[in-house]
Amino acid sequence: MTPPTESHLHLDVPKEKQPRHVAIIMDGNGRWAERQELPRIRGHQQGAKQVRVVTEECARLGIEQLTLYCLSSENWKRPAEELEFLMFLLSEYLTQERETLMENNIRLEIIGRRDRIPNDVQSVMDETLATTSSNTGTCLCMAINYGGRAEIVDATRRITEKVISGELKTEDICEELVSEHLYTAGMSDPDLLIRTAGEMRISNYLLWQISYAEMWVTDKMWPEFAVADFHQAIVNFSNRNRRFGGLNS
């Protein structure tokens, strides 16, 4: 684990008021690089470093799950050179971070469609998934080639197939059943959704799961998002009154 620094000051938030599950839209890698007059790939490299920082802090705080929007299904519209580098960076991260994940008792999960992901990258994904599968601490869930609408479509298809085969009846379909057929089956819904780079949209991310998530947006780009910013988001969350459609107690 990263040695304590000024950024790792005590977080004065009771455990029961911390989010169990944090989801992050990591936006602004390319814009950060452009502001530094650097190639866009340098922004992605720095962004990968911040993934480690925030993941380790989640483990230190005992947060149950961190879900990161790593590559959306719409990101394939980007230049081929950038996409090729992103695949390289993903493979490199999953290989180099195995030791860190094991040291911090972090279990990896990956959600999204596997099509379009190169076979060699899939092999690295599977090896890291297997290596960390018995860890019992924070779950690091990486959304790769992920789209919220596609996830709901895939769940609908699986449910429909079961209805056609007679395994399910239409009257069996309910919110719980739909949740069980999403990529995130068995996971809790996010309590806190963080978005960097100041954008005020959810970009097709966890559309079903964030129905009651608290949102926190910062103007900071992902490569400059530090532990202190993460703490600020958690403190802000702890002061929210989450009514879930009801009234104040």
Task: Cite the active site residues.
Answer: 27, 75
Tell me the H-state helices in the chain.
29-35, 40-61, 80-96, 98-103, 119-132, 148-165, 175-180, 227-238
8 burial level (CB within 10 Å; 0-12, 13-18, 19+): middle
3-state secondary structure of 77: helix
Q: Which of 106, 124, 126 is nearest to 56 (CA)?
A: 106
How far apart are alpha carbons 33 and 222 in whole angstroms? 11
In angstroms, the CA 206 to CA 127 distance is: 25
Calpha distance 214→195 (Å, rounded): 11
Question: In Å, how far from its chain's centre is CA 113?
Answer: 15
Give the other-Cβ count within 10 Å of 133's Cβ: 10
Written as one string, the DSSP assignment of 225-241 is --HHHHHHHHHHHHT--
Q: CA–CA separation, 177 vs 10, rounded Å? A: 40
